[in-house]
Chain A
């Protein structure tokens, strides 16, 4: 899937995680997930589109290296659950959700790239509930940039990056971007953050 307009080059303030660092971070997240869940049994991972899916895939790959187990991957698109529906003028494109397994009694690790207001997570939690009744849902994010608007707290955090409102965190993943890294960039002037919830 190609890049879109909102990922146009912005003024980069800092590269916070580089390629090697990103690999280390996903390795640590995988270990923490295994430790907390006492192994990989009964575990499933659900990535939130778009980049959460790639983070999830990498965590699954790490778990495979550590425990020699294949964890099932689900893909979640939260567009149908957005809470800004009545405020927007045009509709965002709905993409496919693909959760090809039963969530009943499973331990679900929900994975996203950046945790910000918490609205995406809220939408994802609501979506997961229509797929069954998981035993528990945990939240893993590559970056927590603060500014929560809802009472949501992650279980696993790759890196805490305190940001101001005029800044944004850009996660780049080789699967769709040119490189693997996490950047702190300036918000473009006059953005309404329409697609950033």
Chain B
């Protein structure tokens, strides 16, 4: 990783819509900036005036705990003014379209919009109606770039480098925006990525991505340095991607027994929320020898501070 010409390294993007097409240099700059911002969180007064006077709207059309709180905290740590919007309590209930909501937000002169939406491409759509920066906080089954960035930051803390690191993403890849963003980000950074899950939950594009695919979790564990365990999306259970949760656990659940059989250092990540005892054993999730799940959450705030900072550079003339 080169640190040449530190003040010349400039982040030129206006929006962060996904990690598809984001260069290794840009990812490095985001992660290094996040490492600098992480220190702020440990100060006696964990707040800096960097985004004073900026207004940020958090548009959450889909349920979220971690991401919404993390963005809001990052915004507040940077002294931005924040407005929260959730679909349940707004005019969306009365049938307002995304375009109308966007135009109204634009009329209120905000600088940035953080959006989570069930439809893939909603953040891209928003960029046509809003002059400020748009940050994708998860759009349908498409991308969740800040999650992948915080995952990469966490991995860099453990392994220093991402290059040649073997990361197996385990579970429901098909519906996972976390998996997609991580596949783009990690492969850009030179990591070796594999997918593991029931054939019904591996997307067709996986072949195009030229990734290793495991349908046997023990093989994936013996190959990998890192297991990125995804949540089984219970809300999609009715669609019969696999017979029962119990059967999923038996075939793909990450258990202590399976890890001990592999007999090596292995790191477990999970984007949350965890279904304890389904995709991941409860005690493993809490075992600091394996799990970096709470480090992911802390790093999430730092990564989002970095993104907000880097995107806020441009001033409307």
Binding site for B on A (CB under 8 A): 1-2, 4-6, 77, 80-81, 85-98, 126-127, 129-132, 195
Q: Assuming the A-B contacts A4-B7, A94-B37, A131-B44, are A80 and B53 also in contact, with contact meaning beta carbons closer than 8 angstroms in the complex? A: no
B35 and A92 contacting across the interface, CB-CB below 8 Å: no
Q: Which residue of A lies closest to B12 (CB)?
A: A90
15 A-B residue pairings within 8 Å (CB atoms): A2-B5, A4-B5, A85-B51, A88-B315, A89-B314, A91-B312, A93-B32, A93-B33, A94-B37, A94-B309, A95-B36, A97-B36, A127-B48, A130-B45, A131-B43
Asked if B47 is at the interface (CB within 8 A of a chain A CB), the reply is yes
What's the minimum C-beta distance from B78 to chain A, rounded to whole angstroms?
8
B49 and A92 contacting across the interface, CB-CB below 8 Å? no
CB distance from A177 to the nearest CB of B (A): 15
Q: A93-B7, A131-B43 are in contact. Are A80 and B48 (CB under 8 A)?
A: yes
The prevalent SS among residues of A at the interface is loop
Determine whether the beta carbon of B315 is less than 8 Å from that of A130.
Answer: no
**Given pairs A93-B7, A95-B6, A126-B49, 5 additional interface contacts (CB within 8 A):** A1-B6, A2-B3, A4-B8, A80-B48, A91-B11
- In the complex, are the beta carbons of A81 and B49 less than 8 A apart? yes
Residues in A whose Cβ lies below 8 Å from that of B4? 2
* B312: A residues at CB distance < 8 A: 91
Bound together, the chains give a CA A85 to CA B39 distance in angstroms of 21
- Asked whether B11 lies within 8 Å of A96 as measured between CB atoms, the reply is no
| B45 cross-chain contacts in A, Cβ below 8 A | 129-131
Q: Is B291 an interface residue (CB 8 A)?
A: no
Contact residue among A6, A81, A126 (Cβ-Cβ distance under 8 Å from B7): A6
**Max chain B Cβ within 10 angstroms of own Cβ: one of A2, A94, A95, A129:** A94
Chain B residue with Cβ nearest A133: B44
B21-55 residues with Cβ-Cβ distance < 8 A to A are: 29, 32-33, 35-37, 39-40, 43-53
CA distance A105 to B51 in the complex (A): 30
A5 close to B44 (CB less than 8 A)? no
Closest Cβ neighbor of A85 among chain B residues: B50
Say yes or no: B7 contacts A195, CB within 8 Å. yes
Complex CA–CA separation, A1 to B49 (angstroms) = 27
Say whether B33 contacts A87, CB under 8 Å.
no
Complex contacts, B49 vs chain A, CB 8 Å: 80-81, 126
Closest to A92 in B: B7
Does B9 make an interface contact (CB < 8 A)? Answer: yes
Taking CB atoms, residues of chain B closer than 8 Å to A97 are 36, 39-40
With A and B bound together, what is the CA distance between A87 and B4 in angstroms? 25
Q: Known contacts A81-B50, A85-B50, A97-B39; decide if A90 and B313 are in contact (CB<8 Å).
A: yes
In the complex, the answer to whether B315 meets A87 with C-beta atoms within 8 Å is yes
Q: Nearest chain A CB to B240's CB is how many angstroms away? A: 49
What separation, in Å, do the CA atoms of A77 and B309 have in the docked complex?
15
Is B310's beta carbon under 8 Å from chain A? yes
Given the known A-B contacts A1-B3, A129-B45, are A90 and B36 also in contact in the complex, defined by CB atoms under 8 Å? no
A54 to chain B, nearest CB (A): 15
- Residue A89 contacts which of B5, B36, B43, B313 (CB distance < 8 angstroms)? B313
- The CA of A93 and the CA of B33, in the complex, are separated in Å by 7
What's the minimum C-beta distance from B7 to chain A, rounded to whole angstroms?
Answer: 5
A96–B35 contact, CB under 8 A?
A: yes
Most buried by B among A77, A80, A126: A80
A87 and B313 alpha carbons, distance in the complex (Å): 9
Contacts of B314 in A (CB 8 A): 89-90
A77 touching B10 by the CB < 8 A rule?
A: no
Chain A residues, CB < 8 A from B43: 130-131
Known A-B contacts A1-B6, A2-B5, A132-B44; A93 and B29 likewise in contact (beta carbons under 8 Å): yes
Whole-angstrom CA separation of A108 from B306 in the bound complex: 29
Contact digits for B274-317, partner A, Cβ 8 Å, 1 yes 0 no: 00000000000000000000000000000000100110111100
Closest beta carbon of chain A to B308's beta carbon, Å: 10
Question: In the complex, how many angstroms separate the beta carbon of B313 from the nearest chain A beta carbon?
Answer: 4
Instruction: Knowing A2-B4, A130-B43, say if A91 contacts B10 (CB, 8 Å).
Output: yes
Chain B min CB distance to A73 (Å)? 16
